[in-house]
Amino acid sequence: MAAHPILSVEGISLSFGGLTVLSEVSFKVNPGEIFAIIGPNGAGKTSILNCIGGFYRPSAGRILFEGDDITRTSPDRRAARGLARTFQNIALFRGMTVLDNIKLGAHAHLKTGLASALMYWGPAHREEMALRERMEQEVIDFLEIEPIRKQAVGSLAYGLQKRVELARALAMEPKVLLMDEPVAGMNAEETEDMARFVLDIKEERDITIVLIEHDMNVIMDISDRVMVVNFGQKIAEGTPDQVQRHPEVIKAYLGEKKG
Amino acid sequence: MDILLQLIVSGIAVGGVYALIALGFVLIYKATSIINFATGEFMMIGAYFFYTFMVMAGLPPIPSFLLVMLCSAMLGLFIERAILRHMLGQPTISIVMVTVGLSSILMGLAEMIWSTDFKSFPPLFPRAPVIIGDIIVRSNLFWGFIAAMIAVIIFALLFKYAKVGVAMRATAGDQMAAFSMGINVRSMFTVAWAMGAIAAALGGVIIGNIGGIQPTLGSIGLKIFPVVILGGLDSIAGAVVGGFIVGLVENIAGGYLDPYVGGGVKDLAPFVVLVLILFIKPYGLFGKQDIERL
């Protein structure tokens, strides 16, 4: 077991008005693992990702990334530090081409302030651009989307759009990738491809992955560890096997046994 | 025939200037979804800035021009930071009303600072009318059109290729995704207001150079509504095409019909065409529905 978790969530709670969405959820993610969060609809899975990404601010608890408290850091700063994200409902920039979208991912490393915008040209800039281009190409090759790189994303099939969104996240060269239902709505073949990509990302790219998924087969196949949430609370954590046999989990998914 | 050509040419020339002012509206709407009713007043204030630097301070045209851009950017930036940022998350109608109020405040300030007297700039361009074939174009209109087109092209290129422009487009497309890309969405709002104010102010300088300035100059800003609604509120290409259409329609309708009804057609015609087009294409010619927007 690695000495320091790359991401640790310590007792976060979240409520909207009177509605409690999360209560004191804690977990640690180790570098290089695939950590899955599962649970019934409305259990608070996406809220957890939104807290980590910085879109929701938990009312209690804190979030540490590489040992630093990022609970109050803005989402764009978190992204720049190495937290990338894919969304449940594809959030691509629809008017742009595949390549433009991927280029935007690489933006995380560039400062978008006014001052740097004024220094748009120059040798340092050109060098950086060459480096970016090589990296973008590498991501495109990795995800096998070369043939569609010039197409507008709006015209692509659903499974391909998901892949482009993943490519954009990878272009950010993140340390941790948060994936919200990467295979939702995909057919069997697309699902298999995506599962393979997720495994490859972990193995070849050394990126830690936190994912939410409904597809149990995928979860059990690829995850190193699984956390189960229900009604905003953590009810179990462990290897896929352990979790599957956990009585609380069986109860949450299959209902209580009568008698 | 000659008259028609003449009207077409001046229509295009005026339309180019409308396009630039409309761009000031679109840049802000695209990034922040705020309908800025003070666009016309941004334009008017821009013209007064120019008057201040060139006539009152006696600076040469180019430095005055650059100072106008700087001051307008500051104005846009200030308004976003000081007023509109606090309105984030409020209902659209409240924010729109704030911009309506803003337009009155800016007009009032202009009256206080520069008085209500009519002012004009010393000639910026060679006086001689420009002759294209058989057509004669007033020099201020011709050079104004050229200047407006250069500005529109620069803004379009910035938006398409520069880092800030791409980040602004991303913000316009999906704020949450933009955030996750490491784009500072709030600073993009500020940049959009600054750029929008600059575009409107440049338009104001050109308009002021053609017809002189008064605090009520901002009412020309009303004409950008047919322009942007025709073109689609969030499309730069649409703003340009919409600008030309409105310029052409008002000139041709005014030229042919005004003599029969005793005037006024010029100001009415763009709105009539606007209503007709909205019957057919409710989103405007270029608006919404996923097409590549420049």
pLDDT digits (tens, 9 = 90+) for B204-255: 999 999 889 999 998 888 888 888 888 877 788 889 999 999 999 999 998 8
pLDDT reading at A122 higher than 70: no
Closest Cβ–Cβ partner in A55, A74, A169 for B176: A55
Provide the pLDDT for residue B71: 96
pLDDT reading at B289 higher than 60: no
pLDDT reading at A259 higher than 50: no
Look at residues B2, B18, B93 and name the one whose alpha carbon lies nearest to residue B248: B18
Closest Cβ–Cβ partner in B182, B290, B291 for A79: B182
- Average pLDDT of the segment spanning B9-23: 93
| A119 interface with B at CB cutoff 8 Å | no
Helices B236-261 and B265-280 cross at an angle (nearest 10°) of: 130
pLDDT reading at B285 higher than 70: no
Tokens of A52: 């980590």
Provide the pLDDT for residue B180: 87
pLDDT reading at A56 higher than 50: yes
pLDDT reading at B93 higher than 80: yes
Instruction: Report the alpha-carbon distance of residue A122 to residue A117 in Å, rounded.
Output: 12
The sign of the dihedral angle between the CA atoms of A146, A148, B167, A172 is: negative
Look at residues B218, B245, B289 and name the one whose alpha carbon lies nearest to residue B24: B218
ipTM: 0.79
Check B290 against A84: CB less than 8 A apart: no
CB burial readout A10-47, b (16+ within 10 A) else e? bebbbeeeeeebbbebebbbbbebbbbbbbeeebbbbb
Provide the pLDDT for residue A123: 62
Please identify, in words, the CATH class of the domain defined by A1-82+174-259. Answer: alpha beta
pLDDT reading at B52 higher than 50: yes
For chain A, give every domain's residue range. Answer: 1-82+174-259, 95-171
Mean pLDDT value across chain A: 86
Provide the pLDDT for residue A115: 47
Provide the pLDDT for residue B288: 54
Closest Cβ–Cβ partner in A84, A104, A152 for B166: A104
Count how many residues are written for chain A. 259
Which of A7-21, A136-150, B155-169 has the lowest average pLDDT? Answer: B155-169
Angle at B16 between CA B13 and CA B20, to 5 degrees: 150
- Amino acid identity of B117? D
Chain A (52-111) residues lying within 8 Å, Cβ to Cβ, of chain B? 53-55, 74-77, 79-80, 84-85, 87, 91-96, 100, 103-105, 107-110
State the number of CA atoms in the 13 A half-sphere of A43 facing the CB.
Answer: 20
pLDDT reading at A118 higher than 60: no
Chain B residues lying within 8 Å of A120, measured CB to CB: 162-163
Instruction: Report the alpha-carbon distance of residue B26 to residue B35 in Å, rounded.
Output: 9
pLDDT reading at B294 higher than 60: no
Provide the pLDDT for residue A119: 52
Tokens of A7: 């991401």
* Tens-digit pLDDT profile for residues A34-43: 999 998 888 8
Instruction: Report the alpha-carbon distance of residue A169 to residue A176 in Å, rounded.
Output: 10
Q: Is B100 helix (H, G, I), strand (E, B) or coil?
A: helix
Check A107 against B181: CB less than 8 A apart: yes
pLDDT band at B290 (very low <50, low <70, confident <90, very high): very low
Check B292 against A95: CB less than 8 A apart: yes
- Amino acid identity of A131? L
Look at residues B84, B174, B166, B85 and name the one whose alpha carbon lies nearest to residue A55: B174
> Which pTM value belongs to this model?
0.80
pLDDT reading at B190 higher than 60: yes
Check B176 against A91: CB less than 8 A apart: yes
Give the C-alpha distances (Å, rounded to integers) separating B178 from A106, B77, B84, B185. Answer: 12, 21, 20, 7
Check B164 against A114: CB less than 8 A apart: yes
> Does domain B2-131+139-280 match CATH 2.20.25?
no
Provide the pLDDT for residue B109: 95
Mean pLDDT value across chain B: 87
Q: What percentage of chain B reaches a pLDDT higher than 70?
A: 95
Chain A residues lying within 8 Å of B184, measured CB to CB: 74, 76, 112-113
Q: Could you tell me how many CB contacts below 8 A there are between chain A and chain B?
A: 92
Instruction: Report the alpha-carbon distance of residue B38 to residue B88 in Å, rounded.
Output: 18
pLDDT band at A107 (very low <50, low <70, confident <90, very high): low
